[in-house]
Structure 1
Amino acid sequence: MKLVIINYGAGNIQSIKFAFKRLGVDAVLSDDAEEIKAADKVIFPGVGEASSAMAKLRDTGLDKLIPTLTQPVLGICLGMQLMCKHSTEGDTTGLGIFDVSVTKFSNSVKVPQIGWNEVSNLNSPLFEGIPENSHMYLVHSFYAPKCEELIAETMYDVKYASALQKDNFYGVQFHPEKSGLVGEQVLKNFLQM
């Protein structure tokens, strides 16, 4: 199996690579369109700020490529947020794969949300074998509100979409690569799709 992690300067690439290595898969880091298109599975990682991340994607043409991919694609954290149509972080136009706009948590809670939180309403093969209300590791100040593409939700200030799916595109707000055995199971499930 060829697994490609899209390389556009996102911050959590090495930990994702190590997580897949523990599962016996050597992921390839690439920004080459042909190599990404030829992959069996694609990871769209992300740690950072939305507008600068989108600028990097536009500079390399990856903003046009990613929405056309037909194999399973998993967006992680900022990767998931950039798959949405818009983010209020830097007033950023996203890739438009998910029809939802990302917004910032209110001032009534501490941001960023850092640490373990429950993920519930699990509704996808991505969560096969994962108990309802499992804890995942999250670090973020912006979130996707509940919407039609929701496949998991989390409560922090409001109930929001902690995972999204549309066709072959999956997005998780949490970091499966840092979420212990349940996070590892999410990655295994993705590999088996």
Structure 2
Amino acid sequence: MDRQVTAPDGREWTVRKQLEWRPPVTAEDFEHDVSGGARPGYVMLGILGVLVAVLVIWMPDGVYVPVWFVLALALVALFFPLRWTLRRPWTVVAETEGLQVEPAVAGRWGESVDTGTADGENAESGEVSSAEDGESGSAEDEEDPYPAERWVGTVRGMLKVHSEVARVAKTIERHSTPDPTGPLRPVD
């Protein structure tokens, strides 16, 4: 889900979230990043299936199984897969391309000035200016006041990620950047 947000400084931000199937590797997890894969889970699921089949096959004919007992078993069996699904980590990204400000030629009181020259000729002195002398003072030399930014963070939980995306969008609408004390961090 992409959410478009306009900041007070005029930049357009895109806030998006993506489900991560594996937990992101961090520096703290470096020594524990070896995984046994999914095979142990499948083995445990097979053992559970065999035990349930044995329980059903060896059940005497006169035994009455209440519905609430079957529902309780189903709830216990679905608890961990449901918890795993609801607690998956999500990556939240807030990014902007920045704002390209066109340099405006302005006069003394802010009115636009028509230079009326062609080929870099100065109207008052008749001289031709050249950009080769290195002192042109162009916009490329100055730092961009509205640079492109990318903030990335991880939020755990399906319900929490929805509220976090809304909070990030609201913070961008008010302050032009995500909250630096939240889960998002600027990325180069």
Q: Tell me which interval the TM-score lies in, with the shorter structure as reference length.
A: under 0.3
Bigger helix share: 2
Greater RCO (Cα-Cα under 8 Å, separation 6 or more): 2
Q: TM-score, normalised by structure 1?
A: 0.22
Please tell me whether Structure 1 or Structure 2 has the larger radius of gyration of its CA atoms.
Answer: 2
| Greater strand content | 1
Length-normalised TM-score, structure 2: 0.22
